[in-house]
Amino acid sequence: MVATSAITETKMEERNKKKLFYDPMAVTWMERYSGQMDKIWSKLPSFVGSAIATFAVFMLGATMRGEWLLVLVHCAKYLGYKNAENLNENNLTFSFDISKVSLEDMYLKDIHYFWLGASFVSYSMYFIIGGFLHWYYYVRQRDRAEEWKCQPQKWLSPDLERHEILVGSFSLLITSSFTASIACYINNGGWSTVYYEFGEHTWTWWFLQWPVIFIYQDYITYLLHRLYHTPFLYKNFHKLHHKYKQPTAFSVTAIHPVEIMHIQITLMLPIFVFPVHFVPFYAIAFYTYYHGIIDHSGINFKAYWWQPWQPDAIFHDNHHQYFHVNFGFNCFIWDKLHGTYRRKDRIYTEDIFLWKR
């Protein structure tokens, strides 16, 4: 009887393990194919493997929130540019009758195609490339964690891995839907301050807008991040993101829907506020999203020599470890200036907010 019970329990455990392999909201399923993938990967030169991993991070950053669709729309407008400046009277004159308002009136004709395209690509890249990065480091090199991991002795539990993918997937739906709406709106002739001809504004402004956009986006993100570390906003919104004390690439969108939309809208404001050429705006956006994945990867990536402003990935990893410090993303200078840079001679806990120190 005891032997039969033990056999039954063993079978149940094996069945549960098999279920994990096919759970789309868990990353354990890829371990089933790790052996085959490793055989293929071992045949590649090391520099090719590193290049593929870097390109995968870039592609994930460029596609995850739907910005690829906006770039596609702007490129199409640039290639078929007509000197109308998107400022004709139809764009600026409104005759509002709620009973007669249609999607076409709101410049949202064919929104379903944009939404389907943005969502499909976002989820495909999130799971395929996110899964690849997880395999490349967290499965393939798990026994050498001290060589690459920011916190080599600590790992997210399987439950938290699943949780971050569930939350990240839901937030991904929200951000890709928002981006799809903006792309559809602009594609249908909706008003924005984006321009396409290089000579439409002065060349001085074309070069100057690179640092202006970058500093605006990074500093405003720093301020918003600090705002969400005030007691009320932290406990009700941002704390969700801090469940993952050992973040992975899947954590980058595992943010409360209210917060992630707040950030998304703020980052998109320049295309409706002041003249921006689409090339610098989206080049900087892709740079930001690329490093967002790097910073949440849990992998000890180093900034390149040509990025003296850029902190290493451990900078944001420390933020997840120590909570109310290191609020910056692409510039550590904001934390230096505002006294929020992590100090090794201080004790930080989740309950010790900035002004209690």
SS3 228: coil
DSSP at 274: S
What does the alpha-carbon distance between residue 94 and residue 105 come to, in Å, rounded to a whole number? 9
Tell me, rounded to whole angstroms, the distance of Cα 345 from its chain centroid: 32
Judge whether 293 and 61 are in contact, CB under 8 Å.
Answer: yes
- Rounded to 10 degrees, the C-alpha dihedral 126/132/137/139 comes to 110
At residue 257, the pLDDT reads 97
Instruction: Please give the Cα distance from 278 to 210 (Å, whole number).
Output: 11
Q: What is the CA radius of gyration of the chain?
A: 23
DSSP class of residue 8 equals H
In order along the chain (357 residues), what is the average pLDDT of each group of 10 residues? Answer: 48 48 56 75 81 90 92 92 44 55 87 96 93 90 94 93 94 96 95 93 96 98 97 97 95 96 96 97 96 95 96 97 96 97 91 69
Answer for the pair 123, 60: CB distance below 8 angstroms, yes or no: no
**Separation CA 261–CA 266 (nearest Å):** 8
The pLDDT value given to residue 98: 61
250 contact partners, CB below 8 Å, separation of at least 6: 27, 126, 130, 134, 161, 164, 165, 168
pLDDT at residue 36, rounded to an integer: 78
Q: Dihedral of the CA atoms 250, 252, 254, 258 (nearest 10)?
A: -160
pLDDT of residue 329: 96
The pLDDT value recorded for residue 11 is 46
DSSP string, 138-180: IITTGGGGGGTBSSTT----HHHHHHHHHHHHHHHHHHHHHHH
Question: Coil, strand or helix: which one is 299?
Answer: strand
